[in-house]
Each structure stands twice: as structure tokens, then as C-alpha cells.
Amino acid sequence: GRRFLSNEYHAGKERRCHVRAGELRHVPGIFTVGYVVEEMTPPKKIDPVRAQERGVAPGKKYNALKNGFSVMNDDGTEEVFPEEVVVEGRHEDRPRKLVVLGDNCGISKGMKELSIGADVLVNEVTLSGGRREEAIQKGHSTAR
């Protein structure tokens, strides 16, 4: 079958991340953007022992439970709820977020909002920290 890139829209379940862009501040007349790369939320996990105890064998019903829907057990006699068999996520199960900013002297409100919760922030700087005023006049950042 066709192989998809990790961010390709049509990748479906194979999609591993999404990329968003936000406007940065530079000198008037020059448009620059920063990027946020965020992993997709990892799928929830089913505790197979608890699911088997509730009468649900591995299969299509697992997907419904992972997505928050109750199902009937395999013999159709009892309703099984997600909270009975879904394993609570750990901190490691949350999506990671990377923010990359370049050629800027500040970020827009939108870019700031996109960046909230970033695990890693990369900001390209042009001038040393003691040259802040010069950097801003030229639309750049400093190390401070």
C-alpha cells in the first residue's frame, strides 16, 4: 500500500503529528511565521484482563471502548463501560509539542496561544543579549 508522510492529511490512523503556523513580528512589510509540531494524542489502552473479566474479547469493541462508548459484552447480556476497562494514561502518554521560531523580534497573540504547553522551544537569535534595541529595529531576537 501507499506510505504516507507522518503529517499527511489522508494518512488516517497512520498520521503521527500535526503542524500549525503562527505569525511572528519582524520589520514592517516582511511576513514571518513560527511553527508548532505536536504529536497526535496517543490512543487509550484497554486492560485485556479486565475486558476479558467483563466478557469482551479483543476486537472491534475495543475501539468503541477506547473512544468512550459503552458496548455489550460478547454474549450480549451486560453493558460494559469504558471506565471499567480503559487504563488511565500516564504522563508519558500525552502528546509532545515542539515550537520553532525564527527571524523575529516577537510573537503574535495567536502564536503565543499555539505555543502554550510546549515541551521544547527553539528560537533563532541573531544578535547577542546586549544588543536588544538594535535587534528589535532590525526585526530580530537576542539571546536574552
| 75-123 confidence digits (pLDDT tens) | 999 999 999 999 876 656 678 999 999 888 888 999 999 999 999 999 9
pLDDT tops 70 at residue 11: no
The pLDDT value given to residue 94: 78
> β-strands 17-25, 32-39: how paired?
antiparallel
Report which of 110, 106, 139 is spatially closest to residue 123, judged by C-alpha positions. 106
CB 95 within 8 A of CB 42: yes
